[in-house]
Chains A and B, each alone.
Chain A
Amino acid sequence: MNTTGGTWQRHFPTEKSGAQFFPEFEMRAKAVSAEVFRVPSAREARETLIRLVEAAGVKKAVVVESPLQEAAGITEALRSRGIAVYTDTEEIAAHAETADIGISGVEFGIAETGSVFQDGCAIATRLVTILPPLHVVFLPSANIVPGINEAFEIIAEDFKSGYLGFITGPSRTADIERVLTIGVHGPSRFAIIACDEAPKGGAA
């Protein structure tokens, strides 16, 4: 079993979530050094990612697919630019440690904290999320809940077992002289590509 069990999408949209919470989400996420790109369509989501990987000089990517990424044709676009892309769990295990970028999908965002929520039961998801120095996630921009309490109303329904995580900006520490330093054990860069256009089938 590779997911926690929920089809998270059935929680969205409701009157308790939606793109109206996106501006606050974006502001909070940026305040903790996340890079946020809101795009209207899957095509622009792809173009944004391509600009990002080209600027970062990415040669090797580990990718866990999500409906939004598939709709945007992310994997093909990366490969067509000569980037080595690994998508199988065994390949990801072998290459995540040396990859320049990890790419995955997240279920929803929290406006109150600028966090994204990810079902990380699949080992591949956790590896791409934590090992490479740059982590990019795809998020349907309508999937924003206002606060922690609303997030837990959703989680409490589906969390029977598995590995769930909130990610809020890049890895950080202040353990030496309380000086904020980005990128300790996890990624030093964390980017969110939020797409207004829902992928076919509806699931993120």
Chain B
Amino acid sequence: MESVTRNLKKEISEKLKDETLRGALGRFAEVYPEARAKAYENAGDIEALREAVRQMKIETVAEIEKVADRFEAEATKRGVKVFRAKDGDALKAYLVDLCREKDVKRIVKSKSMASEEVHLNPYLEAAGITATETDLGEWIVALAGQKPSHMVMPAIHLSRFQVAEYFSKELKTEISPDIAMMVQAARKELREKFLRADMGISGANFGIAENGAIGLVTNEGNARMVTTLPRIHVVIIGYEKLIPTIKDAATILKVLPRSATCQLMTSYTTMISGPTPTMVKKGGKWVEEVKEMHIILLDNGRLRAAKDEKFKEIFQCVRCASCLNVCPVYTLIGGHVYGHIYAGGIGAILTAFLHGMKEFEQFHELCIGCRRCTTVCPGKIDIPGLIEELRIRKVKDKGLPFFLKKTFENVIANRKLFHSLLRLAALGQKPFQEGRLIRHLPLFFAGLAKDRSLPAISDEPLRDRIGRIARTSAYPDKRVAFFSGCTIDFVFPETGESVFTVLQDLNMEVFFPEGQSCCGKPVLAMGDEETTKRIARDNIQALEEQNPDVIVSACPTCTETLRHYTELLKDDPEWGPKASAMARKAREFCSFVAEEYEKRGRLGKKTGGPRVTYHDSCHMKRVLGIENEPRWLLEAAGCEIVEMKDADKCCGMSGIFGVKYAELSLPILEQKIANIRETGATIAACACSGCMVQIQGGLDKKLPQVKMRHVADILAERLVEKENGGRGHENQGHHRQ
């Protein structure tokens, strides 16, 4: 297929205006997590089930050729004709030849994403063969001349009124927008097609090597019609659907319906091994015959992925689409924008292999790396990690756009220049600044500040304040290097001061290594591994200079990136070991302080403080796995915690995304602000400076009575209060286990 250059910004703005789509996806995103949890209630240990899928798929992909050979041999033995299609062209040629040979004019199809992937239907049509989609959703999008916008619910973006219009046009009669009536109209129309079809084409949810069977998981009953009524059945199945044994099907069936549609089992789950009997009308009489069965095993890039050390992971996908259902970006704009044929983050990865990097490049930036999908994926695929890997490969292959490349290499990797520019920005922003925030921006920058104030660059960065705040201790408990990250250094230096206050109170000697710079995450996120390595070496050098016991950061992304240096520099004989040694000392502020408080018996719950709601930053919870410690610290500071809805859902910042795609970032932020409002808290706390930028900006415009504070700030304020003889906050003596 010819690749068309997309105008993503325009597509986004159109979808954001589509009230039907926004309503449908928004409502779905709202109910999905709970419905999913309910479906898993009687399934046993959900993590064990996910691990079982992952393990089974890992073992399968390791010997995919052997599994495929067995599948082919077993199916062939039973009388199936198996064809291995290396790509879409081979598949289509085989199918059209078959249709000509067997005089097939009419085809009924049950759902097959693989057939969408190779653009089968237009090809058949051009060959004079009518192919009718019989899955209701697929039929609707086909009538609309569209592509599915979701792998499981193809027509989720359409309203009953739109569907009624398409039906009226197709059936040449007025169809009212009554859902039950429309379903009956579809039943009647499609029943005729089933009965008259010469061939049925189905996809497959799995293929069993042990007995050459295919499995179909459906609700409408159309797959049973497609595989039962016509005299020929053709299965299109991708290599990733193969599983070794019959019992492995149970592993899939335990999770697939639960994750896909929140059902314990779909209405019809069918397994077919070899050709089965069918009825054929001959001379006005019905005669039983064994039907003809073909299986087309589709490669189209899959086997290349199977041999790739990183991307063999896509074989762990069972196509349940749960990753889409929890994705903050997908649930705003749907799969037509966030996707090519396959939607969402997993769609971006599949697209890279099945359709090429050019298609991938057109929409991969929509993955904001919040990692929410990784908590639900039944195959435990690291979707954001694989997207980041594709970005790195793209940059290795083709380089960055000139401007970005120069910015990264010459500015961010050059600490002195980068910091001078930030200081200059502090001056340049003055005309637009009110207090610590920028509320209005001129001209085309205005969109950035709509519904969100931008933080002002501080007049005095943290690095200039160290002389005033650092205290020495004769016998320090630990010597701590503070890695501030750019945001705390230049935007929230007061939070940096709080970190000093809290750690010094624990009798630690805290120092600020001057030579530290940006952790490199924004550069890495754009795929520029080489520049990130330069930054990493500079930071390791700076942080290790005074040989600290611990390296603390109050930004989870910085901690994560410091630790990632190990992986980044693993092939570097000089810097690899240094990176590992440094990474072992890198600690996130909250978990480190909680541990120290615990040792000193200071982690008990106290009362008398403000009502606080805590936002879990994506990378704090899902990369570092820290969610309890900040809450314990807040309680130890006397705060009353009121949990907000979706506390761990992304705030929409995500580095450069929040600026480049402000139109998507803002609706995500709006949801967060609404959830904060619901709690009635006076303080919104978090432990990530990136989230602070975003949430503070939103609160300032929409909910100014609520203040955004870093956990470190709240702890430091409590200490200052105590020093000033503050009242209340009696220790209740509940110690953490």
Residue of B nearest to A158 (CB): B246
Pairwise interchain contact A176-B271, C-beta atoms closer than 8 A: no
Pairwise interchain contact B279-A127, C-beta atoms closer than 8 A: yes
Is A156 an interface residue, CB under 8 A from the partner?
yes
Pairwise interchain contact B219-A172, C-beta atoms closer than 8 A: yes
Residue from the list A113, A169, A181, A183 in contact with B179, Cβ < 8 A: A181
In the complex, what's the smallest C-beta–C-beta distance from B108 to chain A, in angstroms?
10
Is B679 an interface residue, CB under 8 A from the partner?
no
In the complex, what's the smallest C-beta–C-beta distance from B612 to chain A, in angstroms?
36
Chain A residues whose CB sits within 8 angstroms of the CB of B250 once the complex forms: 148-149, 151-152
Pairwise interchain contact B249-A152, C-beta atoms closer than 8 A: yes
Is B398 an interface residue, CB under 8 A from the partner?
no
Pairwise interchain contact A130-B221, C-beta atoms closer than 8 A: yes
Pairwise interchain contact B253-A148, C-beta atoms closer than 8 A: yes
Within 8 A of B (CB), among A156-171: 156, 159-171
Of residues B27, B153, B265, which shows the largest number of chain A Cβ atoms within 10 Å of its Cβ?
B265
Pairwise interchain contact B269-A184, C-beta atoms closer than 8 A: no
In the complex, what's the smallest C-beta–C-beta distance from B360 to chain A, in angstroms?
29
A119-135 toward B: CB 8 Å interface, digit per residue (1/0)? 01111001101100000
Is A15 an interface residue, CB under 8 A from the partner?
no
Residue from the list B27, B270, B277, B286 in contact with A2, Cβ < 8 A: B277
Selecting from A37-45, A60-68, A71-79, A88-96, the interface stretch reads A88-96
Complex: A28 Cα to B257 Cα, angstroms = 15
In the complex, what's the smallest C-beta–C-beta distance from B50 to chain A, in angstroms?
15
Chain B residues whose CB sits within 8 angstroms of the CB of A176 once the complex forms: 136, 140, 155, 158, 160, 163, 179, 182-183
Pairwise interchain contact A177-B140, C-beta atoms closer than 8 A: no
In the complex, what's the smallest C-beta–C-beta distance from B277 to chain A, in angstroms?
4
A174-188 toward B: CB 8 Å interface, digit per residue (1/0)? 111111010111110
Chain B residues whose CB sits within 8 angstroms of the CB of A90 once the complex forms: 279, 285-288
Is B187 an interface residue, CB under 8 A from the partner?
yes
Is B268 an interface residue, CB under 8 A from the partner?
yes
Complex: A159 Cα to B286 Cα, angstroms = 28
Chain A residues whose CB sits within 8 angstroms of the CB of B158 once the complex forms: 176
Pairwise interchain contact B183-A166, C-beta atoms closer than 8 A: no
In the complex, what's the smallest C-beta–C-beta distance from A90 to chain B, in angstroms?
5
Chain A residues whose CB sits within 8 angstroms of the CB of B194 once the complex forms: 185
Selecting from B222-230, B713-721, B728-736, the interface stretch reads B222-230
Residue from the list A113, A151, A167, A186 in contact with B220, Cβ < 8 A: A186
Is A112 an interface residue, CB under 8 A from the partner?
yes
Chain A residues whose CB sits within 8 angstroms of the CB of B266 once the complex forms: 168
The interface size of chain A toward B, counting residues with CB under 8 Å, comes to 55
Pairwise interchain contact B276-A163, C-beta atoms closer than 8 A: yes
Pairwise interchain contact B183-A183, C-beta atoms closer than 8 A: yes
Pairwise interchain contact B279-A175, C-beta atoms closer than 8 A: no
The interface size of chain B toward A, counting residues with CB under 8 Å, comes to 68
Pairwise interchain contact A155-B24, C-beta atoms closer than 8 A: no
Complex: A26 Cα to B194 Cα, angstroms = 33
User: Assuming the A-B contacts A159-B211, A175-B153, A178-B153, are A123 and B269 also in contact, with contact meaning beta carbons closer than 8 angstroms in the complex?
Assistant: no
Is A196 an interface residue, CB under 8 A from the partner?
no
Residue from the list A28, A156, A183 in contact with B246, Cβ < 8 A: A156
Chain B residues whose CB sits within 8 angstroms of the CB of A148 once the complex forms: 250, 253-254, 265
Pairwise interchain contact A186-B286, C-beta atoms closer than 8 A: no
Pairwise interchain contact A123-B247, C-beta atoms closer than 8 A: no
Chain A residues whose CB sits within 8 angstroms of the CB of B245 once the complex forms: 156
Complex: A163 Cα to B274 Cα, angstroms = 8
Complex: A138 Cα to B266 Cα, angstroms = 20
Residue from the list A32, A94, A110, A129 in contact with B286, Cβ < 8 A: A94
B315-335 toward A: CB 8 Å interface, digit per residue (1/0)? 000000000000000000000
Residue from the list B43, B153, B180 in contact with A174, Cβ < 8 A: B153
Chain B residues whose CB sits within 8 angstroms of the CB of A185 once the complex forms: 134, 187, 190-191, 194, 220-222, 224-225
B241-268 toward A: CB 8 Å interface, digit per residue (1/0)? 0000111011001100000010111111
Within 8 A of B (CB), among A95-116: 97, 110, 112-115
Residue from the list A89, A126, A153, A159 in contact with B224, Cβ < 8 A: A126
Residue of B nearest to A24 (CB): B42
Chain A residues whose CB sits within 8 angstroms of the CB of B228 once the complex forms: 123, 126-127, 130, 163
Pairwise interchain contact A121-B276, C-beta atoms closer than 8 A: yes
Pairwise interchain contact A166-B213, C-beta atoms closer than 8 A: no
Pairwise interchain contact B247-A156, C-beta atoms closer than 8 A: yes
Complex: A49 Cα to B586 Cα, angstroms = 71
Pairwise interchain contact A171-B273, C-beta atoms closer than 8 A: no
A4-35 toward B: CB 8 Å interface, digit per residue (1/0)? 00000000000000000000000010001000
Residue of B nearest to A187 (CB): B221
Chain B residues whose CB sits within 8 angstroms of the CB of A165 once the complex forms: 224, 268-271
Chain B residues whose CB sits within 8 angstroms of the CB of A123 once the complex forms: 228, 276-279, 288
Chain A residues whose CB sits within 8 angstroms of the CB of B263 once the complex forms: 32, 168
In the complex, what's the smallest C-beta–C-beta distance from A95 to chain B, in angstroms?
10
In the complex, what's the smallest C-beta–C-beta distance from A166 to chain B, in angstroms?
4
Is A173 an interface residue, CB under 8 A from the partner?
yes
B145-158 toward A: CB 8 Å interface, digit per residue (1/0)? 00000000111101
Pairwise interchain contact A177-B24, C-beta atoms closer than 8 A: yes
Residue of B nearest to A164 (CB): B271
Is B82 an interface residue, CB under 8 A from the partner?
no
Chain A residues whose CB sits within 8 angstroms of the CB of B134 once the complex forms: 185
Chain B residues whose CB sits within 8 angstroms of the CB of A155 once the complex forms: 246, 271
B398-441 toward A: CB 8 Å interface, digit per residue (1/0)? 00000000000000000000000000000000000000000000
Pairwise interchain contact A162-B276, C-beta atoms closer than 8 A: yes
Residue of A nearest to B42 (CB): A112
Residue of A nearest to B228 (CB): A126
Pairwise interchain contact A171-B163, C-beta atoms closer than 8 A: no
In the complex, what's the smallest C-beta–C-beta distance from B149 to chain A, in angstroms?
12
Chain B residues whose CB sits within 8 angstroms of the CB of A160 once the complex forms: 211, 273
Q: B: which residues have CB within 8 A of A?
A: 24, 27-28, 42-43, 78, 134-137, 140, 153-156, 158-160, 163, 179-180, 182-184, 186-187, 190-191, 194-195, 211, 213, 219-222, 224-225, 227-228, 245-247, 249-250, 253-254, 261, 263-274, 276-279, 285-288
For the complex with contacts A90-B287, A178-B24, A186-B268, 16 further pairs of A-B residues with Cβ separation under 8 Å are A28-B264, A110-B265, A115-B269, A152-B247, A159-B211, A161-B78, A163-B227, A164-B271, A168-B265, A171-B221, A174-B153, A175-B137, A178-B153, A184-B220, A185-B222, A186-B224
- Could you list 21 A-B pairs, sorted by A, with CB under 8 Å? A32-B264, A112-B43, A126-B224, A152-B249, A156-B245, A156-B246, A161-B273, A164-B270, A171-B268, A173-B219, A175-B137, A178-B28, A178-B153, A183-B184, A184-B183, A185-B134, A185-B187, A185-B191, A185-B225, A186-B221, A186-B225
Top 10 nearest A-B pairs (CB, nearest first) are A186-B221, A175-B137, A152-B250, A113-B265, A93-B286, A93-B279, A161-B274, A184-B220, A185-B221, A156-B246
